[in-house]
Amino acid sequence: MTTFGFVRHGVTAWNKEKRAQGSSDIPLDEEGIEMAARVAKRLSSEQWDIICTSPQLRAKQTAEMIAERLPNLPFHSDSRLREVGGGLIEGTTEAERIAKWGESWRELDLGTEPFEEVIARGVDFLEEMKAKYPGKRILVVSHGGFIWRLLGVLIPEREFEKNLQNTSVTVVEVQEDVNLCHLYNCTKHLSSFSRRLPPP
């Protein structure tokens, strides 16, 4: 078995404005950097063997802060871990999308990356990691939309809530028969945050 720890990146200005990010390269804001520092501190007390990250800035910044706390681990950037491409909706809010395309904008072809393509690259990454690092514990720093879709394939018998929190930790044990989710959307490292966290 191989264990994957999925970490969503810290918060960004676009997260707070509820703008679709997708493939747009948005950095962490000040609060996002603090959140990344907190999850890095949390993970430093756990056993992990390798860190893999999406190359997008918000994820890479989060992963680099984790790597500072786990300095002896191999660190890899992998484009297969990027967020779901949002096409024409990137940079827009829900209100802006309705104003531009109407209430039924989700039914239109606006260039969003197809579900099948997202899953194909995600599963390809997982299979490669399982082959290269059998029995290891692999941290994957990525994005909410990507992680949520991949979890639906890894644990099809469970319905996961869609909104993964920023810097949440989800742990899945990938086995030959049935995969096990030991932890989902956990943000205990943010419990003492003095400011109210924004929605995902």
The per-residue DSSP string of 10-23 comes to: PPBHHHHTT---TT
Q: Each residue of 152-183: pLDDT tens digit?
A: 999 998 888 888 999 999 999 999 889 999 99
Distance between CA atoms of residues 140 and 50, nearest Å: 9
User: What residues have CB less than 8 Å from 63, skipping those under 6 apart?
Assistant: 7, 51, 52, 53, 75, 139, 141
Residues belonging to the active site: 9, 83
Q: Please tell me the predicted confidence (pLDDT) of residue 176.
A: 86
* Mean pLDDT score, 76-102: 97
- Would you state the pLDDT for residue 200? 45
Residue 191: DSSP 8-state: T
Domains, the chain, with CATH or none = 2-86+114-190 (3.40.50.1240)
- pLDDT at residue 196 tops 60: no
- As a residue count, the chain comes to 200
Percentage of the chain beyond pLDDT 70 is 96
Band the pLDDT of 140: cuts 50, 70, 90.
very high
Mean local confidence (pLDDT), 102-130: 96
- For 128, half-sphere exposure in the C-beta direction (CA atoms, 13 angstrom radius) is 10
Predicted pLDDT of residue 193: 64
Q: Would the pTM count as exceeding 0.85?
A: yes
Q: What average pLDDT does range 107-125 have in this prediction?
A: 96
Mean pLDDT (the chain) is 94
